[in-house]
């Protein structure tokens, strides 16, 4: 493969093969069961074949197809175990690697963007990519001043591929539903499509990364590599060694998981306050645990990469978020409801019961109810099931709520981060981070040790009984 498959008809055919392939394998599975094979055995093999095809197609196409796959990968925690197993390893591979472009193509891009004498900018350049992602791949090199650097090279045709893929995926959204049961795919694709232009602009990415690097310089908990050089379709940044977060998810000790989860939560809530930006691509492939030679995870820092997708929030998070969450925890349903209405979460012509709205929100913000919260795939599945089940009061109420456009990306980033925390199985002091970094959330006076844990359990019980 010398380049991205750029012809729209070629990419469309490959993407169309996903739902068609799923239908064909379903028929194959039925035949197997009629032939006397165990339904469990056939079901597992069916899911495994689907997962393998998903990685092969999305990984080879890169572009918007792979970006879509990476976005899906952080939500696998919400799937039932019998479905999540085959997808888990396959989707996680999309977070760290994809089939690379050959050296000749990479050299051609560097020559076009850095000049014919591009090799003089480097003391060393490794032709083998260190990582390959959705719109570019990264090579390890040594800059002419001796610094170790990461050279991010945008794939030729990445812009055309992104636009084409996301347009086609939008058309296939309903057919792609069986690949990730319970996932509302269409809004995810629409939001990714809205971010295409920013994702391709390395000047914007360099600006955002410099802002983060400057703010977190010398920070004890977060490390952001600085930008060394930026050009069209080429971005050179400081190299960052560390343990990929995906490795901690796969085989980390509980202490390592907890440290990674705490740092991820701290970065989520502190980043916008400190920089006026929201890092909006929180999949595990964009994070490393920087050990600095320390064996103890308590000394580790969270290394953050890829600032191609950010939300620009110069005034920080919307001022309504903290007070609404605080009122919800404190039982002030009426005032919380009024704030939600003013912000557009409840449309003018709709009247809802404030207590019912609080009951809907409370289990979702359960991690802030207690001093330490243990995130898990089981908890994520309960939340997804409660909201997705058409028979559930939560589902029926949720259909009447509205998510204002200014909150769309914030909402996805928060859900994605929670998905990663559940993959980690980390115990996190979420309430502490929110009280520190979310304006309006900290209580005015001392509160009981557990703000609303009993209320959360009561709501969960009522939902289950219903």
- Structural domain contains residue 282: no
In angstroms, the CA 299 to CA 317 distance is: 29
Domain co-membership, 137 together with 180: no
Residue 281 known to be catalytic:
yes
Domain co-membership, 187 together with 81: yes
* Residue 28 pLDDT: 33
In angstroms, the CA 229 to CA 238 distance is: 10
In angstroms, the CA 238 to CA 227 distance is: 6
The answer to whether the Cα torsion of 411, 416, 422, 427 is positive or negative is: negative
List the domain range (segments joined by +) for residue 190.
8-97+159-195
The predicted-structure confidence for 369-412, as pLDDT tens digits, reads as follows 999 999 998 898 888 778 777 788 887 898 888 888 788 789 88
Domain co-membership, 350 together with 211: no
- Structural domain contains residue 20: yes
Q: Give the residue from 6, 24, 139 showing the smallest Cα distance to 63.
A: 6
Domain co-membership, 39 together with 144: no
In angstroms, the CA 113 to CA 292 distance is: 34
- Structural domain contains residue 301: no
The predicted-structure confidence for 29-51, as pLDDT tens digits, reads as follows 333 334 333 344 334 454 555 55
Domain co-membership, 110 together with 208: yes
For Cα atoms 424, 425, 427, give the angle at the middle one, nearest 5 degrees: 110
* Residue 425 pLDDT: 96
- Structural domain contains residue 455: yes
Domain co-membership, 112 together with 229: yes
Task: Decide which of 169, 195, 221 is a domain's last residue.
Answer: 195
**Mean pLDDT across the chain:** 78
Domain co-membership, 59 together with 116: no
Domain co-membership, 47 together with 132: no
DSSP state at residue 398: H
- Structural domain contains residue 294: no
In angstroms, the CA 360 to CA 354 distance is: 10
- Structural domain contains residue 37: yes
* Catalytic residue chosen out of the listed positions 258, 281, 306, 359: 281
How many residues are listed for the chain in this entry?
466
**Residue with the larger pLDDT of the pair 291 and 188:** 291
* Total structural domains within the chain: 3
Domain co-membership, 132 together with 180: no
- Structural domain contains residue 453: yes
The predicted-structure confidence for 86-104, as pLDDT tens digits, reads as follows 555 555 554 444 557 789 9
Domain co-membership, 144 together with 165: no
Domain co-membership, 330 together with 203: no
- Structural domain contains residue 264: no
Q: What is the CATH number of the domain that holds 143?
A: 3.30.200.20
Q: Where does residue 233 fall: left (phi above 0), alpha (psi -120 to 50 degrees), or beta otherwise? A: left
In angstroms, the CA 372 to CA 433 distance is: 11
Listed in sequence order, the residues at least 6 apart from 186 whose beta carbon sits closer than 8 Å to its beta carbon are 170, 173, 174
């Amino acid at each position: 493969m010398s380049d991205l498959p750029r012809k729209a008809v070629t990419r469309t055919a490959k993407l169309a093969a996903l739902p068609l392939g799923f239908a064909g394998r379903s028929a194959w599975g039925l035949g197997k069961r009629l032939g006397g094979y165990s339904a469990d055995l056939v079901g597992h093999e069916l899911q495994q074949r689907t997962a393998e095809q998903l990685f092969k197609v999305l990984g080879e196409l890169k572009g918007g197809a792979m970006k879509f796959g990476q976005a899906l990968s952080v939500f696998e925690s919400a799937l039932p175990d019998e479905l999540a197993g085959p997808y888990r390893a396959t989707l996680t591979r999309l977070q760290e690697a994809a089939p690379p472009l050959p050296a000749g193509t990479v050299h051609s891009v560097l020559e076009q963007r850095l000049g014919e004498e591009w090799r003089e900018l480097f003391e060393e350049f490794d032709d083998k990519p260190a990582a390959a992602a959705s719109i570019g791949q990264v090579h390890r090199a040594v800059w002419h001043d001796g610094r170790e650097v990461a050279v991010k090279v945008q794939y030729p045709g990445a812009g055309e591929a992104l636009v084409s893929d996301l347009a086609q995926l939008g058309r296939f959204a309903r057919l792609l539903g069986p690949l990730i049961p319970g996932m509302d795919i269409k809004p995810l694709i629409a939001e990714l499509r809205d971010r295409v232009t920013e994702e391709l602009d390395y000047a914007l990415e360099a600006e955002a990364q410099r802002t983060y690097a400057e703010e977190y310089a010398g920070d004890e908990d977060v490390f952001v590599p600085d930008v060394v050089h930026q050009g069209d379709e080429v971005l050179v940044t400081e190299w960052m060694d560390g343990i990929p977060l995906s490795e901690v998810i796969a085989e980390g000790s509980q202490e390592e998981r907890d440290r990674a989860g705490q740092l991820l939560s701290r970065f989520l809530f502190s980043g916008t306050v400190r920089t006026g930006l929201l890092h909006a691509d929180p999949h595990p492939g964009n994070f490393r645990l920087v050990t600095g030679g320390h064996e103890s995870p308590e000394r580790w820092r969270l290394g953050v990469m890829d600032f191609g997708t950010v939300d620009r929030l110069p005034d920080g998070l919307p001022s309504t978020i903290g007070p609404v969450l605080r009122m919800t925890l404190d039982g002030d349903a009426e005032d919380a409801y009024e704030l939600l209405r003013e912000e557009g979460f409840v449309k003018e012509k709709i009247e809802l019961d404030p207590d019912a709205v609080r009951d809907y929100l409370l289990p979702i913000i359960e991690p802030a109810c207690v001093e330490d919260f243990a995130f898990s795939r089981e908890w994520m599945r309960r939340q997804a099931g409660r909201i997705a089940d058409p028979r559930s009061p939560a589902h029926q109420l949720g259909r009447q709520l509205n998510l204002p456009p200014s909150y769309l990306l914030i909402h996805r980033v928060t859900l994605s981060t929670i998905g990663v925390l559940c993959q980690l199985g980390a115990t996190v002091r979420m309430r502490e981070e929110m009280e520190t970094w979310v304006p309006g959330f900290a209580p005015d006076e001392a509160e009981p040790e557990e703000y609303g844990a009993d209320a959360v359990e009561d709501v969960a019980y009522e939902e289950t009984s219903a």
